[in-house]
Amino acid sequence: MTETTPIERVLVVGAGAMGAQIAMVAALAGREVRLHDVDATLAEQAVGRLRERLDAQVAKGRRTADDVAAAFGRLSVADDLDADAADVDLVIEAVVERLPVKRDLFARLDALCPERTILASNSSSFVPSSMASATERPDRFVNLHFFNPALVMKCVEVVRGPASSDATVGTALRFVDALDKTPVVLDREIPGFVANRLLGAVRDEAIGLLEGGYADVEAIDTAARTALGHPMGPFELMDLTGIDIGYLTKTARFEESGDRADAPSATVAALVEKGDLGRKTGRGFYVYDDGGHRLAPAELPESPELKGK
């Protein structure tokens, strides 16, 4: 395959925070976008939250009302995957970080989509080859990893798998450029890619300092902001992105490597077990009000692994 079709029609599967914002980024860039979720109600609610967010940007003068209205005119909720995958140029998957779920989805999309369609995953947990092998088009498979919040963050990691064609990668790069994002290309796949491997090292050290009793959550976050220039501390960031997302990422990496260093920390595991997942649940490393504003550090659950330390 030496050429790929320019990307004009996009299907985003998964209407969580990332999927919905990726869909809107593409719609704002002039693409016809369909947002699909197994629960159509969730997709409709996601579009409602996008309207609130974009209306706020218009009110602050960051976007024009005409541009936003035109983008919503290009965005639709797709409730029939069979029909809505039939004529798209690109599918971006943004479903739960569980490999069997993603593989099943891509196998289905492979059967539904035209031969020209590029399949892409937003995952940072799973490398392209682990999902592309469920399809008959590994040459037309890449990871397009956006960062949260996708409406704001400029970086998109474009990760090629062993079988990804130059044409596919080139088309993906042009698409990212058209979104007014900055592509970072990985010529070889590696779990976590670039940004999250760097971030993971900071996160793991922060957890180690906390669990070792060297400093508390606020002190570590303050040091990251005021000494290192990070816009958010590692615990603030984990709360923002969802503690469960990091947990699933670490779990997947541990299952693949068998290295205990890759497993979720005792603190993170205890928070996930309790259901304290960060801002979205109102409690994680910090406590939040109904508007998502941070109130105070949370009292962290005691994990059996940390008793006696």
pLDDT of 251-264, one tens digit each? 988 887 888 988 99
Mean pLDDT of 151-173: 97
pLDDT at 192: 87
pLDDT value, residue 301: 86
Secondary structure of the chain in HEC code, one letter for each residue: CCCCCCCCEEEEECCCHHHHHHHHHHHHCCCEEEEECCCHHHHHHHHHHHHHHHHHHHHCCCCCHHHHHHHHHHEEEECCHHHHCCCCCEEEECCCCCHHHHHHHHHHHHHHCCCCCEEEECCCCCCHHHHHCCCCCHHHEEEEEECCCCCCCCEEEEEECCCCCHHHHHHHHHHHHHCCCEEEEECCCCCCCCHHHHHHHHHHHHHHHHHCCCCCHHHHHHHHHHCCCCCCCHHHHHHHHCHHHHHHHHHHHHHHHCCHHHCCCHHHHHHHHHCCCEHHHCECCEEECCCCCEEEECCCCCCHHHCCC
Q: For 163-218, write each residue's pLDDT tens digit.
A: 999 999 999 999 999 999 999 999 999 988 999 889 989 999 999 999 999 999 99
pLDDT computed for residue 3 by the predictor: 52
pLDDT at residue 198 in the model: 92
Q: Please, are residues 281 and 273 in contact by the beta-carbon 8 Å criterion?
A: no
Residue range 263-276: mean pLDDT, rounded: 96
pLDDT digits (tens, 9 = 90+) for 69-81: 999 999 999 889 9
**What's the mean pLDDT in 50-65?**
96
Break the chain into its structural domains and give their ranges: 9-186, 195-306
- Residues identified as active-site: 124, 145, 157, 196
Q: What is the pLDDT of residue 196?
A: 87
For residue 149, give the amino acid letter.
P
Distance CA 62, CA 49 (A): 17
- Mean per-residue pLDDT over the chain, rounded: 94
At 50, the pLDDT band (50, 70, 90 cuts) reads: very high
Indicate whether 308 pLDDT > 50: no
Q: What is the pTM of this model?
A: 0.83
Which architecture does CATH list for 9-186?
3-Layer(aba) Sandwich (3.40)
**CATH code for the domain defined by 195-306:** 1.10.1040.10
Residues 144-154, mean pLDDT to the nearest whole number: 95
Q: Are 172 and 120 in contact (CB under 8 A)?
A: yes
- Of residues 192 and 110, more confidently modeled: 110
Is pLDDT at 304 greater than 80 in this prediction?
Answer: no
Strand partners, 120: 92, 142
Q: Name the band, by pLDDT with cuts 50, 70 and 90, for residue 303.
A: low
Percent share of the chain, pLDDT over 70: 96
> CA–CA distance from 132 to each of 2, 111, 118, 268 (Å)?
19, 13, 11, 30
